[in-house]
Structures are given as C-alpha cells and as structure tokens.
Structure 1
Amino acid sequence: MRLSTVILPIRRWHEGGREVWQRAEELGFHTAYTYDHLSWRVPFREGPWFGALPTLTAAASATDRMRLGTLVTSPNFRHPVTLAKELISLDDISDGRVTLGIGAGSAGGFDATALLPEGAQPWTPRERADRFAEFVPLLDRLLTEDAVTHEGRFFSAGDVRNIPGCLQRPRLPFAVAATGPRGLKLAARHGQAWVTTGDPKLFAEGTPDQSLEAIRGQVAKLGSACEEIGRDAGELGKTLLTGFTPDRPLDSLDAFVDFAGRHTELGIDEIVLHWPIAGTQFAADEKVFEQIASEGLAQLGNRG
C-alpha cells in the first residue's frame, strides 16, 4: 500500500504554498498530487486557485524524493500537443518524478465551459467519452514518439516534435480515472494505474459497506477490461482518491487503518488523502492527519 496526498492549489507559493509541499515530503507521502482545473467548486470558486502545472514545477524544485502528479487532467481545457510539451518539461525538471492522472472531465468544476461561447452547454457524457478516447492515445504517442502527425475528429497534430521525450521511459505513467466501460478500456490499454473516487451516488446517503461493494464492482469491471485485451490487471496500480465516499478515514488513526485495510482487500494499492483545508469539505484535524501520514501504513501492516 502507498499513501499519497492531494494538495489543492489555493495558496500563494511564498505565503505557505512551498511549505505545504515540503511538509508532504517530510511526512513520507509517496506522491503529492494537485487538481488540474481552472477553478473548482464552491467555496473554492470564489477564492485563490493557481495553475496545476506551474505549481507542480515549483514543487519539483522544492522537493527531492516525493513523486508529483495531477488528479486529474482532462480535455476540458487541455490539448494533447501543448500538454505533452509541458509534461516532458516537467518530467525533466522533476528528475522523472511525474505521474499524469487523467480523466474525461465532467460538467462540474466550472471549467467545463470556460473555453466555450457564452451560453453554450457543457459537453454531454458521450461527447466527453468521445474526446477522451481520442485524447489519451494521441497523448501517448506524443510522449513516446519524436515526431507525430495526427488528424482526428477533435484533435490534430502536424509534424509535432517532442525531442528528447520523457526522462521516464517509454513515457511518464498515466493514472486513468474511469468507471464507465469506455474509460476502463482506456485504462486497461494505456494506464499504468487506475483511479476511482468510488460511486458518487453513495456519497451523501450511502453507507461505507455499500461504497465498498461499489468499488469492488469497479475493480471487477477493470479486470474484465484488461482480460479483453490480454493484459494482467495486476500490472495496473489501483488508486482511491478519498473524500467522495461515505467513509470518514481522517477521523482518527484507527478509522484510517480500518478504511485502508478494507480497501486493500479489494486490490486498492494507493490511497490519496486531501490535505486538510479548514472550513471546507476537506476540513480535518491536522494533528490526526499527520499521525496518519507518519504511522498509518505501519499500523496497517500490523492489522489483524
């Protein structure tokens, strides 16, 4: 099991931002991720929100060991050609410590319509799936081939050069967020890891047991998607981004150990905790959070 965190990009770098990323490394988190949005839900919509890739670049220069990544990048406002160039640069600056969390995006989060004409409706789920199905393979090529030409329905690349490519070979890893059949097929074919937040329908009124069964079903569907293409599902990491299930793993060290243990049994091998933010849905006791970061995996190893 790996324990990671996600640090929302809400702090000015020289007013506490740098220190949070450095503290995450001191606490021993495997990876520190950040959201890749132009802005996010209320209350964050009305406050500071900085760009993901510049933030990760700064974090790469402020840390030495911890991996860094996005949870998640989407086609909502990203183009594969420009994204690939930025990722290759970030991978180089970080000395090969970058993971790209990538998903189809959603109608929420306020950046779904940021690049659309005023009054335009967000893409439908099917349109998002169509774009994602073209976005991921093209990005894969752009990160592994020196020169790429592509003319697609949504994205084009005209003799694009990406030399020297990623420091990580053959490219930096993709952690594909998906629960639907088309997204799971992309995870199976192109992912080095798979990401879930559980079943969103259970967040408000479901129970931890119901959530556990929903994730069990998602893991099984991922296994089927892998089997269809002859891939061993065990090759894929399985990441759970917490904060969107009925569970409360940050209430105490014991609560975390129980939560992590039950999900480990499903095959989850990375748990991502939101760095506490007072007055929001991610509020938590910082002392408990740090205790979990420092002792949680050791306690999990002694469980049972």
Structure 2
Amino acid sequence: MILPERRWREARDQWVRAEEFGFDHAWTYDQLMWRWLRNDPWFGAVPTLAAAAAVTSRITLGTMVATPTYRHPVTLAKELMTLEDVAEGRFVCGLGAGAGGLDDRVVDPTERTPRQRAERFGEFVDLLDSLLRERVTTYTGTHYTVEDVPMNPGCLTAPRVPFAVAATGPRGMRLAARHAATWITAGPPGRFDALPYEETLATVKEQLSRLDEACERTGRDPATLDRLLLTGAMVGGTLDSVEAYRDAAGRFGDLGITDFVVHWPRESFPYQGSLKVLEQVAAEVLTAGGGSR
C-alpha cells in the first residue's frame, strides 16, 4: 500500500521499487483526503495508478477502495476501463461501501445509516459490474438509474476488470461472493488504533468463517474467492521486523488469507516504519519464495 502523498517525481521510485522488490500487487487509497493527513499533500488515485502502470511492467495495481461516496458508477467505469488499458490488464478494482467521515461530509453531507450505505453499495457494484461487462447498459434502481450507456471498447480482461470487495457484514460478504475475485478485510472493524497482529487472529478467523457461509448461501465455491488482509490501521506489528512479517504472513496464511498487504513505511505516524525492514522482507522472504502474496 503506497499512500498518494508524494509528488510524482518522488513517488515514481516507490512504485518501481515495489515491483523490483517482488510484490505481486501494489495499491493506493482512493479518497479525497486521509483522516490523519487531512492537511497534508494527497493526490488522486486513478492518475497515480495510471502513472504507475506506465513505469512498471509486471506488478498488478489496485484501488483500495473506490466507494459511492464520491464516485458514480458510469464515470468510474470509464476510468477503470482506461486504467486497465494503460496497465495492459494489470489492474484490480478494490470497492467498498464507505464508512462515513471526512470525504462524505465534503461531497455529500447526507447522513446515512449502515443499512442505507449497504443498499447503495449493492446497487453501485451491480451497476458497475454491468457497465464493465456490457457494451451498452440500462439500469433502474433506487440510487442509480442510467439508460443506454455505451462502454467501448470494453475491458481487456474477460469478462471485466476483477473486483476486490471490502466487507465485514453479511450483506457485503454476500456481495463479494457474487461479484468479487477477492474479498478484503482490514481486521477488527471500526478500529483505528492498531492491535498487535496476534490479538486479531481470532477476529479474522471468525470473518473467514462467515465469508465461507456467505459463499455457500450464494452458491459459490469458497475456494474460488481470494482473501486479502490489509494490515497497518487495525492489524499492527506486521512490519516491525522481517521475522514479524514472516510470522504474521504465515499465521494469517494458515487461517486462509491468500493476500497479505503492508504499508510502504512512512517516517512518521501513521504507518511509521523502516524502509530497511521492507528491503529485508523483499530480500529474505519474497525473493526466497516464502510468505503470502
């Protein structure tokens, strides 16, 4: 996870090095601002990922996560189609319902309950799915209605750009089971004071169990859905040392996590850490073939 906080002349090196280090994918946050960095530099996710696609050749890139907060499915679909084309198919669209907060208040101060956000998110994903699959889409819903929207030439990846859906509730998990290639969790929901990763294992295990149930209820084989853990905000300590990374990736991998995401270390809070540790992880774990993706 690389925060979009540096001017491109500096950020470019992070994306290139992420590929050189051997990571399978690199993500950035798709938000207008970040809760702890509201007054600091913050750039747009889609242009950042397009630039990253142009300077890399192997690593898969992704949004973490696009939401209905300030994205409309039609304009987002056009941007995703274009971004995937620039990346020559190396792209995953991370999606989430949005949890309220600064971005919501800036763009749309309407207060929404968790249920209302979940309902809107369901339509958001359904419509986005249709737009990226079909050449022409008509859709009528409570939150979105569109008529004869063209999407030409369409996605390089068939049947469309893969989705990664962030969800911890039953509705969101069922949505992930229906539409996603990957399910995303950041650990214990609603926390922004990271717990030691050992203390979050039980929560993630319980979430994985409920995800299996959601898959079964929608008629999907649970083994066909990848499971991504985003560490750093709620799951802490995973990049304290190369030993911690290896232990955490192994223990979460044993639970069923297939993709293990850490933040590019920053010099200060949040996600403060040592770049030397990341370099050690690359040299001793990734290139040696150990650990999760």
Q: Normalising by structure 2, what TM-score?
A: 0.95
SS in 2 for 1:114: helix
Task: For 2:28, give the aligned amino acid.
Answer: T
Contact 1:92 1:167 in 2 (8 A): yes
Equivalent in the alignment of 1:12: 7
**How far 1:209 sits from its partner (Å)?**
3.9
CA displacement, residues 92-143 of structure 1 (integer Å, 9 cap, x when unaligned):
11100010010101113x1112222xxx354221121011011001100000
Q: Does the 8 Å contact 1:146/1:161 carry over to 2?
A: yes
Map 1:187-266; keep pairs closer than 5 Å. 187-200=176-189, 204=193, 208-266=197-255
Matching residue's letter, 1:170: P
Shift of 1:246: 4.7
SS in structure 2 opposite 1:262? helix
**Structure 1 residue 157: deviation in Å?**
1.5
Give the counterpart letter for 2:238 in structure 1. P
- For residues 14-163 of structure 1, the aligned pairs below 5 Å read 14=9, 16-42=10-36, 44-108=37-101, 110-116=102-108, 120-163=109-152
- The letter for the 1-side match of 2:271 is F
Q: Which amino acid aligns with 1:254?
A: E
The Cα of 1:297 is off from its aligned counterpart by: 3.9
Q: Deviations over 1:231-268 (max 9, x none)?
A: 11110111000013353011111111111111001110
Give yes or no for contact 1:202–1:210 (8 Å, CA) kept in 2. no
Residue of structure 1 aligned with 2:170, choices 162, 166, 181: 181
Contact 1:207–1:247 under 8 Å retained in 2:
yes
Compute the displacement of 1:41 (Å). 1.0
User: Matched residues in 2 for 1:200 and 1:299: separation?
Assistant: 33
| Structure 1 residue 160 displacement after superposition | 0.3
1:18-69 per-residue CA deviation (whole Å, 9 max, x = no partner) reads 1111111111111110000011112x11111111001111111111111101
Return the offset for 1:207.
5.3
Residues 137 and 149 in structure 2, CA contact (< 8 A), matched pair in contact too: yes
Q: What residue number does 1:3 align with? A: none
Q: Percent identity?
A: 49
Residue type at the aligned position of 2:95:
I
Following TM superposition, the consecutive aligned residue runs of length 4 or more in structure 1 with deviations greater than 3 angstroms are 200-210, 297-302
| Structure 1 length-normalised TM | 0.91
CA contact (8 A) 2:4 2:29 kept: yes
RMSD: 1.8
Q: Which of 246, 261, 268 in structure 2 is aligned with 1:272? A: 261
Task: State the alpha-carbon separation in 2 of the partners of residues 286 and 213 from structure 1.
Answer: 29
The aligned amino acid for 1:63 is T
Q: 1-side partners of 2:257 and 2:136: how far apart?
A: 36
**2:106 counterpart SS class:** coil
Q: Which amino acid aligns with 1:13?
A: W
Give 2:51's aligned amino acid.
A
